[in-house]
Structure 1
Amino acid sequence: MSEPSSSVIVWFRRDLRLSDHAALAAACGGGRPVIPIFILDEQAEALGAAPKWRLGRGLAALQAELERIGSRLILRRGEARGVLNDLIAATGAGAVHWTRAYDPAAQARDFSVKADLKAHGIDAHSFPGHLLFEPWTVETKTGGYYRVFSPMWKAVRQRDVAAPEPRPGTIPTPDRWPRSDRLEDWALGAGMRRGADVVAPHVQAGEVAAQERLDLFLDAGIGAYDTRRDIPGVDGTSGLSQYLSLGEISPQRCWHAGLRARQEGQPGADTFLKELVWREFAYHLMYHSPHILTGNWRPEWDRFPWRTDPAHPHVLAWKQGRTGMPFVDAAMREMHVTGRMHNRGRMIVASYLTKHLMTHWRIGRDWFEQHLVDWDPASNAMGWQWAAGSGPDAAPYFRVFNPETQLDKFDRDGAYRRAWIAEGQGAPPETALAYFHAIPKRWALSPDDPYPAPVVGASEGRRIALEAYQGRALADIPYS
């Protein structure tokens, strides 16, 4: 057991905020010195280029907020258990606090760390913080986890969610701070290369920016959320995904904001709350069936003949945003320029890759993992398997999004395609031209190039997909 006067280490991970932070609040409430740390361990090192760059921006913002109230963020690189042991030896810390993670690799790491700390007489405490409901607290009437979204939504929508807590006014500091790495020496943006300068203007990181985005959405967006969130050419979504992915804002704060909007009669509030639970659904699935991250959630799809060559010319055209399908290409280019992609676009590009191009969803999952600043392991995996048909709560496998009719429906004025596709425009906007500054030079693409013909047309792709499904007897797969 630790001495009452010893310091407490607060280990930040995907919770880069000061408010609604149970681990930090508990540490500060004890009155002992608090040492905030972030460890660049093997899991953080393994992040894709864009999420790792975005992590660096989030850490810089957290550093600034801690320094503003007289504290610091200690940065260390290495295996988590070894780093913590070194810091404990250097500081005499008697306790380590953190908020939980739910992916299998993080759980294994945290279990090992907690066992090691306790074996050495160090208090180790994990707290909720990344989800509205801990995965083991939400069960069906017969026990077990929800495999379909709608009944889960019905089960949790009236549940009490703890009110958000304010950030601590002060954080007790130690007499002597341990050594810290310099954030710039980690070079977290190296993998982005020249794309970092293109994406940077589209990203505002940190807890303050997250709260400002939530406030803007509540003031100007949530009322029309039902109708505008599917139109990619307008700012109709909450824009909170990148902040939730790094925990710069808590789902609890978003939930209570949605409840207030519903009480005020905002028509889009219920849909916003439902989207928060959709994110929750992804995490509960990952926790209870972790194979969703790497393999088909429905094992019947293991025999499906998807293309698996990530260098196939059709796959390259998809990655480049040059499939000849304007909705697909606009969405892929939006991701290159901003690090994000409209949710309707995500569904269209995923359907086109897995169904029109008959390519394995893992190739798309990996490409998103490299390019999305709001990358999230659970949401990314579930989204791709939902679109491919191999996942839980999926639409029937035979539903194939038509990228042409989808564009006619959701981009009637052409604003989205004009914003991102330069070819064929006499005076393309800067957003469309920025794509050519973000992409690898080896692609040798220019806005003066002719826009390509479709690599696989809408009707042809649907026919190919349905024939493949029929040939593999996928009609026998049960869908809820």
Structure 2
Amino acid sequence: MTQISPVIWWVRRDLRLADNPALHAAVSSGRPVIAVFIYDSLVEGLGAAPRWRLGLGLEEFARNLERIGARLILRKGDAVEVLRDLVRQTGASAVWWGRQYDPTQVERDKAVKQALRDNGTEARSFPGHLLFEPWQVQTGQGKFYQVYSPFWRAVKDLDVAPHLAAPDQIHPPETWPASDTLADWGMGRAMNRGAAVVLPHLRIGEDAARARLDRFIASTIAHYKEKRDFLDQDACSGLSENLTYGEISPVALWHAGRHALDAGNPGAEHFLKELVWREFAYHLVFHTPHITHSNWRDGWDRFPWGNGDSADVLRWKQGRTGIDVVDAAMREMYVTGRMHNRARMLVASYLTKHMLVHWRVGLDWFAQCLVDWDPAANAMGWQWVAGSGPDAAPYFRIFNPDTQAQKFDSHQRYRKAWIAELSRTPPPTATSFFEACPRAWGLSPNDTRPAPLVDLATGRNRALDAYQHNKNS
């Protein structure tokens, strides 16, 4: 009975068939495999955009499973109870899944593993979401890394897991368990009218992710280092969307980047460094989980940041600060579900330094609005800019958004692409913002551009005074 009992593969953020260690092990066992996704409280707690995008990814992944004779079983409820129930229904003797590393998922997974084992069910977790397990990369003193540069030097020459081919077929169970219907979950309900605007900008599923990587390697990576910061150029891979849901693995990106580097491609090393920056974020989230919700550095709890309940913060959210590059970036997010990485730094710096608003306000808003939201990257990015995080830019290094715009959007193409009020005949990208943003905001392309919310020089001086006072105290 044990030899033919199914393996339940608990699908999470690994919506792919290739380079999937948990799936590969289950298929290699020769046993029937039942793939299940659980809509639990952690999924329920996702922001509007990432929950909607996850639902789209699940829909595409279910189709991929059907092509090889399998199904994606959908269940809603507490993960422990759902998995126990499936074990009883199917006679499965094992539940396997791919690891996650942020504190809420670690806590849940420990409870699930213990409960299953207490019932005599084999429970195993596998790598796959990262290149290197956080506990495997250590300093010479056996500690975790707290600075990126030595972390990069420590991992850049390490062996990375080999490519795992997608299975041609998955052995089905004798009887498939019942499944919920994805549409009944309403995962995109909170997106309201914004969903129709954002959808054309997405690249959903494993095939789309692989095509995106191939295009980037073939036509873009050569100039990645020198062009990636320019806001008006399509110089980035766009793969953060697919990495977030595991539609492509970091292993696939690493091997593609290494191959390009070995072929003499000048931009490949910087691409690999950016991939390792993601690793570093998860390394820190695993070892110092408070980074996701509290100041990472000591001494920052006294800093006089304001909260998010103000008219000024609403204007920041609306893309109406009066600082063109900041407003363009916020509007790009509402139209595409993503934001250029350089622009993310600028809007974060303006909020936390010029406006003196707590980084958690921005972190929570990004978690609502970004389709490529990632718990580690989001926390690391906001604290890095704010100055409270590891390996952070010093607080006194304050981005000037105007000079940044002059440098990285010298012809105003980025700003005009997203701000309708800057043009007599604005492009569809700019007018789409008014179709995507909440109706309650009452915004129109005929609105007059507001004066700057905070004068840049005044905001900078106020931030420096606050920093010095906090340091002295």
Is the shorter-chain TM-score for this pair beyond 0.5, marking a shared fold? yes
Alpha-carbon shift at residue 299 of structure 1 (Å): 2.2
For residue 274 of structure 2, give the secondary structure of its aligned residue in structure 1.
helix
1:140-289 matches, cutoff 5 A? 140-289=139-288
Letter in 2 for 1:51: P
Which residue of structure 2 lines up, in the alignment, with residue 335 of structure 1?
Answer: 333
CA distance in structure 1 between the partners assigned to 2:132 and 2:422 by the alignment: 49
CA distance in structure 1 between the partners assigned to 2:116 and 2:470 by the alignment: 51
Stretches (4+) displaced over 2 A: none
Letter in 2 for 1:458: L
Letter in 1 for 2:150: P
Q: Does 1:9 align with 2:8?
A: yes
Report the more deviating stretch, 280-289 or 103-112. 103-112
The answer to whether the 8 Å contact 2:416/2:422 transfers is no
Alpha-carbon shift at residue 17 of structure 1 (Å): 0.6
Q: Does 1:53 align with 2:57?
A: no
**Structure 1: gaps of 5 or more residues:** none
The answer to whether the 8 Å contact 1:424/1:450 transfers is no
The answer to whether the 8 Å contact 1:22/1:129 transfers is yes
CA distance in structure 1 between the partners assigned to 2:272 and 2:428 by the alignment: 35
Work out which of the residue numbers 432, 436, 439 in structure 2 matches 1:438: 436
Alpha-carbon shift at residue 424 of structure 1 (Å): 3.4
Which residue of structure 2 lines up, in the alignment, with residue 298 of structure 1?
Answer: 297
Letter in 2 for 1:343: N
CA distance in structure 2 between the partners assigned to 1:95 and 1:307 by the alignment: 49
For residue 355 of structure 1, give the secondary structure of its aligned residue in structure 2.
helix
Alpha-carbon shift at residue 30 of structure 1 (Å): 1.0
- CA-to-partner distance for each residue in 1:356-382, whole Å, 9 max, x for gaps? 000000000000000000000000001
Which residue of structure 2 lines up, in the alignment, with residue 115 of structure 1?
Answer: 114
For residue 39 of structure 1, give the secondary structure of its aligned residue in structure 2.
strand
1:406-417 matches, cutoff 5 A? 406-417=404-415
For residue 34 of structure 2, give the secondary structure of its aligned residue in structure 1.
strand
Alpha-carbon shift at residue 399 of structure 1 (Å): 0.4
- CA-to-partner distance for each residue in 1:382-436, whole Å, 9 max, x for gaps? 1000000000000111000000000000001111001000003111000000000
CA distance in structure 2 between the partners assigned to 1:238 and 1:3 by the alignment: 45
For residue 443 of structure 2, give the secondary structure of its aligned residue in structure 1.
coil
Which residue of structure 1 lines up, in the alignment, with residue 28 of structure 2?
Answer: 29
CA distance in structure 2 between the partners assigned to 1:366 and 1:322 by the alignment: 19
CA distance in structure 2 between the partners assigned to 1:146 and 1:313 by the alignment: 40
| TM-score (structure 1 length as normaliser) | 0.97
Letter in 2 for 1:233: D
The answer to whether the 8 Å contact 1:40/1:77 transfers is yes
CA distance in structure 2 between the partners assigned to 1:424 and 1:377 by the alignment: 34
Alpha-carbon shift at residue 311 of structure 1 (Å): 2.7
| TM-score (structure 2 length as normaliser) | 0.99
For residue 135 of structure 1, give the secondary structure of its aligned residue in structure 2.
coil
Which residue of structure 2 lines up, in the alignment, with residue 85 of structure 1?
Answer: 84
The answer to whether the 8 Å contact 2:228/2:235 transfers is yes
Alpha-carbon shift at residue 47 of structure 1 (Å): 0.2
Report the more deviating stretch, 115-124 or 374-383. 115-124
CA distance in structure 2 between the partners assigned to 1:187 and 1:3 by the alignment: 38
Q: Does 1:469 align with 2:467?
A: yes
CA distance in structure 1 between the partners assigned to 2:259 and 2:470 by the alignment: 49
The answer to whether the 8 Å contact 2:9/2:26 transfers is yes
Which residue of structure 1 lines up, in the alignment, with residue 392 of structure 2?
Answer: 394
Which residue of structure 2 lines up, in the alignment, with residue 99 of structure 1?
Answer: 98
- CA-to-partner distance for each residue in 1:221-252, whole Å, 9 max, x for gaps? 10010111101111111110011111111101
- CA-to-partner distance for each residue in 1:48-94, whole Å, 9 max, x for gaps? 00000000010011001001111100000000000001111111111
- CA-to-partner distance for each residue in 1:150-209, whole Å, 9 max, x for gaps? 000011100000121110011000111000000010100011111111111111211111
- CA-to-partner distance for each residue in 1:97-153, whole Å, 9 max, x for gaps? 101111111111111111111121111111101000000000111121100000000
CA distance in structure 1 between the partners assigned to 2:267 and 2:448 by the alignment: 41
Number of residues paired by the alignment?
A: 473
The answer to whether the 8 Å contact 1:103/1:286 transfers is yes
Letter in 2 for 1:395: A
For residue 135 of structure 2, give the secondary structure of its aligned residue in structure 1.
helix
Alpha-carbon shift at residue 454 of structure 1 (Å): 0.3
Q: Does 1:366 align with 2:361?
A: no
For residue 56 of structure 1, give the secondary structure of its aligned residue in structure 2.
helix
CA distance in structure 1 between the partners assigned to 2:420 and 2:66 by the alignment: 44
CA distance in structure 2 between the partners assigned to 1:164 and 1:3 by the alignment: 30
Which residue of structure 1 lines up, in the alignment, with residue 70 of structure 2?
Answer: 71
The answer to whether the 8 Å contact 2:323/2:452 transfers is yes
The answer to whether the 8 Å contact 1:332/1:341 transfers is yes
- Provide the alpha-carbon RMSD of the alignment: 0.9
Which residue of structure 2 lines up, in the alignment, with residue 134 of structure 1?
Answer: 133
CA distance in structure 1 between the partners assigned to 2:467 and 2:27 by the alignment: 57
The answer to whether the 8 Å contact 2:281/2:380 transfers is yes
CA distance in structure 1 between the partners assigned to 2:332 and 2:286 by the alignment: 31
CA distance in structure 2 between the partners assigned to 1:424 and 1:30 by the alignment: 61
For residue 74 of structure 2, give the secondary structure of its aligned residue in structure 1.
strand
- CA-to-partner distance for each residue in 1:457-480, whole Å, 9 max, x for gaps? 221111111111112226x9xxxx
For residue 466 of structure 1, give the secondary structure of its aligned residue in structure 2.
helix
For residue 123 of structure 2, give the secondary structure of its aligned residue in structure 1.
strand
For residue 301 of structure 1, give the secondary structure of its aligned residue in structure 2.
coil
CA distance in structure 2 between the partners assigned to 1:161 and 1:118 by the alignment: 31
CA distance in structure 2 between the partners assigned to 1:224 and 1:280 by the alignment: 23
For residue 300 of structure 1, give the secondary structure of its aligned residue in structure 2.
coil
**Structure 2: gaps of 5 or more residues:** none
Which residue of structure 1 lines up, in the alignment, with residue 448 of structure 2?
Answer: 450
The answer to whether the 8 Å contact 2:297/2:388 transfers is yes
